[in-house]
Structure formats: C-alpha cells, structure tokens
C-alpha cells in the first residue's frame, strides 16, 4: 500500500509560514535541494490545499524557475497534483485535479492504488485533517534553525494526541535537521 508522507519546512517553534505568510526564513541550499529531488523521485502524486496550491502554481511553471532549477521544477510541474478545496472552481496547473469533498475517502482510494508514495507539501489544514483521521504514514519535518514567534502552525484544529516514533534523521551542514517520524498505532 502506498504511503502518505508529509514533507514540510518548519521553524524551530513549529511554524510553516511566518506572521505575514512570509517564507523568507527557510534555509535552502545544495543538500536541501538534493533531499527535495530524491523525495520527488520517490513519489508519484502531490497533495495540496488551496493556499499552497495557488502559491506553488504561481511559482514552479515560471520560465525563470524552470531555467534556474530544471530538475525540481520538472518534477513539480509534471507530477500529478491533487488539490483539496471547497472554494476553487478549477485548477490550471499541469496535471492538477480538483477534489471538493470527501478528502478522507479520496485518500483511502489513492493509498489503495498501485504506485509510488504520495506527498503533502505545505497545506497545514490538510495535514491536520489527515493527521486526525490517522491517514498520514510518515512525517518529514525539515526543521530550520530559526524561531519565528508567530505565524501559521504545522498543526491546527482539534487533533487528538498522536504518538510518533523517530525513524531517521539527517543533519545538513546548514544547521537544518530533517526528522522522520511514523505514527505508533
């Protein structure tokens, strides 16, 4: 069965965005890009909520990004993308599909199909909903050496306690640490 993986940049204090939805704080360098390339090669579907989808769709297909980062841009643009949103009416980014209802049911269908793993990038509300529904198989938290003080937290809403086990960690030269956790069932 395919796994649903969360792969998110977070501050030391657990935020995925700064106070004004800013993203000027993550440390992205050669080792991080290698992680991103390897991660994207190991999946065949990307899941997004509306906000993250709109941000990514405005960034990755641009000529400058495709030229400056052809490997990651190629994967981001060509991989199938599923967008969960009750407010969007259409999605235009290459290989994107809009799903408006029954997120948990759709995830169960995706997990049961053959293929590579599925990754959620950003999309804190989707991560929170799927965490509560016990549908996340692995959390990869890319902890950046910065404290933001406020912003958008990785998890929101009513999530009951979830026990996790650390299965791996990678320390990057930049001070970023990638923590790999799996739920303990």
Largest CA distance in the chain: 45
Q: Is residue 141 very low, low, confident or very high in pLDDT (cuts 50, 70, 90)?
A: very high
Estimate the share of the chain in helix, then strand, then coil, as percent rounded to the nearest 5.
30, 30, 40
Residue 157 has pLDDT above 90, yes or no: no
- pTM of the predicted model, to two decimals? 0.95
CA distance 108 to 91: 22
User: What torsion do the CA atoms of 163, 164, 165, 170 make, to the nearest 10 degrees?
Assistant: -150
Residues 6+ apart with CB under 8 A from 26: 9, 142, 144
Which two tokens mark 22?
């800013």
Q: What is the pLDDT of residues 52-99, one digit of tens each?
A: 999 999 999 999 999 999 999 999 999 999 999 999 999 999 999 999
What number of other Cβ atoms are within 10 A of residue 97's Cβ? Answer: 11
Residue 172 has pLDDT above 90, yes or no: yes
Q: What is the pLDDT of residues 12-33, one digit of tens each?
A: 999 999 999 899 999 999 999 9
Task: Give the CATH number for residue 75.
Answer: 3.40.430.10
Residue 132 has pLDDT above 90, yes or no: yes
CA distance 133 to 94: 29
**3-class secondary structure for 169-185?**
EEECCCCCEEEEEEECC
Question: What total of structural domains would you count in the chain?
Answer: 1
Which two tokens mark 17?
């965005």
Question: What pLDDT does residue 185 have?
Answer: 75
CA distance 156 to 165: 21
User: Range of 93's domain?
Assistant: 4-183
């Amino acid at each position: 069965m395919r796994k649903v993986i969360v792969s998110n940049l977070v501050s030391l204090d657990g935020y995925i965005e700064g106070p004004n939805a800013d993203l000027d704080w993550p440390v992205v360098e050669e080792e991080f890009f290698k992680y991103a390339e390897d991660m994207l090669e190991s999946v065949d579907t990307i899941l997004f909520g509306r906000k993250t989808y709109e941000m990514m769709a405005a960034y990755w297909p641009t000529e400058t990004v495709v030229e400056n980062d052809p490997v990651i841009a190629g994967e981001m643009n060509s991989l199938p993308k599923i967008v969960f949103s009750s407010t969007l009416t259409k999605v235009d980014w290459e290989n994107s599909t809009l799903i408006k209802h029954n997120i948990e049911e759709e995830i169960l269908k995706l997990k049961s199909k053959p293929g590579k793993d599925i990754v959620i990038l950003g999309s804190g509300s989707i991560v929170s909903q799927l965490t509560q529904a016990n549908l996340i198989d692995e959390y990869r938290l890319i902890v950046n050496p910065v404290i933001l003080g406020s912003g958008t937290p990785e998890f929101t809403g009513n999530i009951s306690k979830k026990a996790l086990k650390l299965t791996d960690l990678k320390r990057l030269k930049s001070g970023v640490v990638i923590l790999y956790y799996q739920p303990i069932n």
